[in-house]
Structure 1
Amino acid sequence: MTTASPNLAVMIAAARKAGRRLVRDFGEVENLQVSVKGAGDFVSNADRKAEETIRAELEHARPAYGWLGEETGAAAASDGMNRWIVDPLDGTTNFLHGLPHWAISIGLERKGEIVAGVVYDPIKDEMFTAEKGAGAWMNDRRLRVSGRRDMSEMIFATGVPFMNSPHLPRTLKDLAHLMPRCAGVRRWGAAALDLAYVAAGRYDGYWERNLNPWDVAAGVLLVREAGGFVHDIDDEARDPVAGRAIVAANAEVYATFRDLLRIG
Structure 2
Amino acid sequence: MIDTDKILETGIKAAFESGRILRFYLGNLAEINKKGETDLVTKADIESEKIITETIRAIYPNHSILAEEGGLTTNDTSSGQSNRWIIDPLDGTTNFAHQLPLFCCSIAFQHENEIITGIVFNPVTNELFTAVKNGGAYLNGAKIKVSGKNDLKESLLVTGFPYDTNGIIDPIVKRLSNCLKAAQGIRRLGSAALDLCYIACGRFDGFWEQKLKPWDTAAGYLIASEAGGLVTDFANKPFQTEMNELLATNGLIHSQMISMMRI
> What TM-score does the superposition give when structure 1 sets the normalisation length?
0.94
Are 2:110 and 1:112 aligned?
A: no
Residue number in structure 2 paired with 1:204: 205
Once residues 231 and 249 of structure 1 are traced to their aligned partners in structure 2, the CA distance between those partners, rounded to angstroms, is 9
Q: Is the deviation greater in 227-236 or in 100-109?
A: 227-236
Shift of 1:164: 5.1
Once residues 51 and 251 of structure 1 are traced to their aligned partners in structure 2, the CA distance between those partners, rounded to angstroms, is 33
Letter in 1 for 2:248: A
Q: Secondary structure at the match of 2:35?
A: strand
* Count of residues in Structure 1 that have an aligned counterpart in Structure 2: 257
Once residues 117 and 47 of structure 1 are traced to their aligned partners in structure 2, the CA distance between those partners, rounded to angstroms, is 19
Residue number in structure 1 paired with 2:67: 69
Are 2:140 and 1:142 aligned?
A: no
Q: Is the deviation greater in 82-91 or in 145-154?
A: 145-154
Residue number in structure 2 paired with 1:78: 77
Q: Secondary structure at the match of 1:38?
A: coil
Structure 1 pair 20–175 and aligned structure 2 pair: CA distance change class (3 A): same
Once residues 137 and 232 of structure 1 are traced to their aligned partners in structure 2, the CA distance between those partners, rounded to angstroms, is 24
Q: Deviations over 1:203-247 (max 9, x none)?
A: 00111110100000000101110011001222515x432111110
Q: Secondary structure at the match of 1:5?
A: helix
Shift of 1:166: 2.7
Contact 2:27 2:97 in 1 (8 A): no
Contact 1:106 1:117 in 2 (8 A): yes
Once residues 92 and 20 of structure 1 are traced to their aligned partners in structure 2, the CA distance between those partners, rounded to angstroms, is 16
Residue number in structure 2 paired with 1:36: 34
Contact 1:126 1:139 in 2 (8 A): yes
Shift of 1:146: 0.5
| 4+ long deviations beyond 4 Å | none
Q: Is the deviation greater in 125-134 or in 142-151?
A: 142-151
> What TM-score does the superposition give when structure 2 sets the normalisation length?
0.94
Question: 1:1-264 counterparts in 2 under 5 A?
Answer: 5-28=5-28, 31-76=29-74, 77-79=76-78, 80-162=81-163, 165-234=166-235, 236-237=237-238, 239-261=239-261, 263-264=262-263
Contact 1:32 1:44 in 2 (8 A): no
Letter in 1 for 2:247: V
Contact 2:236 2:258 in 1 (8 A): no
Shift of 1:160: 2.2
Q: Deviations over 1:152-189 (max 9, x none)?
A: 11111111235753322211110111111111111110
Contact 2:119 2:219 in 1 (8 A): yes
Once residues 15 and 167 of structure 1 are traced to their aligned partners in structure 2, the CA distance between those partners, rounded to angstroms, is 34
Letter in 1 for 2:250: N
Identity fraction in percent = 37
Q: Deviations over 1:19-45 (max 9, x none)?
A: 0111011032xx432211101100001
Q: Secondary structure at the match of 1:130?
A: strand
Letter in 2 for 1:32: A
Contact 1:213 1:242 in 2 (8 A): yes
Give unmatched runs, 5+ long, in structure 2. Answer: none
C-alpha RMSD of the superposition: 1.4
Letter in 1 for 2:242: A
Q: Secondary structure at the match of 2:54?
A: helix
Once residues 24 and 164 of structure 1 are traced to their aligned partners in structure 2, the CA distance between those partners, rounded to angstroms, is 32
Contact 2:118 2:222 in 1 (8 A): yes
Shift of 1:255: 1.1
Once residues 83 and 5 of structure 1 are traced to their aligned partners in structure 2, the CA distance between those partners, rounded to angstroms, is 16
Once residues 95 and 135 of structure 2 are traced to their aligned partners in structure 1, the CA distance between those partners, rounded to angstroms, is 32
